Amino acid sequence: MMAHLLHTPFVPSSSALRRTPIPHRKTTAPLVVRAKIREIFMPALSSTMTEGKIVSWIKSEGDKLSKGDSVVVVESDKADMDVETFYDGYLAAIVVEEGGVAAVGSAIAFLAETEDEIPQAKSKLSSSSSSPSSSSSAPAPAPAPPAESQPEKVAAAAPVSVAPAPSVASSHPASEGGKRIVASPYAKKLAKELKVELGRIVGTGPLGRIVAKDVEAFAAAGNAAASSAPAPQKSEAAGAVELGSVVPFTTMQSAVSRNMLESLAVPTFRVGYTITTDALDALYKKIKLKGVTMTALLAKATALALVKHPVMNSSCRDGNSFTYNSSINIAVAVAIDGGLITPVLQDADKVDLYSLSRKWKELVDKARAKQLQPHEYNTGTFTLSNLGMFGVDRFDAILPPGTGAIMAVGASQPTVVATKDGRIGMKNQMQVNVTADHRVIYGADLASFLQTLSQIIEDPKDLTF
């Protein structure tokens, strides 16, 4: 009777209701079975980095990973840095072996969500690595394997590991004279504390990497283990430049090369100035026992002068405008094994001299261990380069891209000078030469800054406040 009132039979509508869930179940079923295999990419560890070198794998294939775990140590253009995973899972397959180089954004490993998916990740690696070689002989089968793994890949097709295969040999750069020593960050730190030379240790880690237990064992043996053959190895390594050989740039040397070429596009000019350092030398003798360094003194003096001449702390990046930087961050050039880096003393005008000296020592230690973080070397607003400790009396420095000026500091030397009363006297003097971006800084700006700097150095009472 109800069906009569509604003018609609219940039977068709109820059957329609029964039919609707059926296609719904069919469409959702396949979505549940997808494997979660992710790619671990080569990260950009600095703004200038285009490729990175795998120093060492902290984790091995098959290891379980948790979000935030350090997986691999990567050599960027400035430092060695630990790279962490953003996901839980298993390190299923390593694409780029230790010593291999990969472009930023390319896959260096595969991460599986579950242990059961590790074989699938390995087959994915083998299929992708075999596709270039098989393409020449049989182009038809090559597209088949990528079709299966295509939905899982986030970016990039072919792996970038150009030279990992040869590096999976019994020997390793860690134990080859003249090549870069490959050791875990903790092993490097331990070697420094125990005063052990890493080049004399044979690594037992993956692919010959030196690990902490190798350092401890070598130190415990009283360096006896290396007494049989270190001398020839060292002599070969020290003077082992093979004449006529072609040596490729390291990652850091490539970065320096790019920066130097970029600096050629900036119109620069140079101004020299002679500064008497008797008062600064006397102050240094009084406070160096408290841990104060000459670098910190020069950085502090420069920062105080920049406060009065903000245009010297400015920078031009687009060629159409320039920025008065809000912080005075003094970058200081440091020579390290295989290159050059500029650790930064941030807010040098505000930090007291003693804290600045402690910070400088910390930065140098980190730079030589290749452990500087990007903000510790790429935030400089004014650069110092000091060759005075080598007896160099004067030199010119090349302007780093993105900054307004760099000051080259020569050695302080006894000099015969005419005194104000017309007599001849002896004073310690140093020569500084500043290279500046002429789009922003003009001759009068630079001359005025150097006058202020000279006054601060010749009467350094404000440096210790």
> Active-site positions?
438
At 311, list the tokens.
């245009």
Of 66, 65, 67, 45, the residue nearest 55 (C-alpha): 45
Cα(360)–Cα(332) distance, integer angstroms: 9
The 3-state DSSP composition of the chain as helix, strand, coil percent (nearest 5) reads: 40, 20, 40
Q: Across 252-306, where does the E strand assignment appear?
A: 268-276
How many of the other CB atoms lie within 10 Å of CB of 254?
A: 17
How many of the other CB atoms lie within 10 Å of CB of 444?
A: 8
Output the CA torsion sign for 456, 458, 459, 462.
Answer: positive
Instruction: Write the CB contacts of 396 (distance below 8 Å, at least 6 apart in sequence).
Output: 270, 408, 433, 435
Of 52, 48, 49, 94, the residue nearest 71 (C-alpha): 94
Cα(398)–Cα(406) distance, integer angstroms: 7
203 with 225: CB under 8 angstroms?
A: no
What are the DSSP calls for 82-131, one per residue?
Answer: EEE-SS-EEEEEESS-TT-EEETTSEEEEEESSGGGHHHHHHHHHHHHHH
The number of residues in the chain equals 465
The greatest distance separating any two alpha carbons of the chain, rounded to the nearest whole angstrom, comes to 130
Residue with tokens 């890493």: 198
Instruction: Write the CB contacts of 210 (distance below 8 Å, at least 6 apart in sequence).
Output: 174, 181, 182, 183, 184, 187, 198, 201, 203
What are the DSSP calls for 292-339, one per residue?
Answer: --HHHHHHHHHHHHHHH-GGGGEE-SSSS--EE-SS--EEE-EEETTE
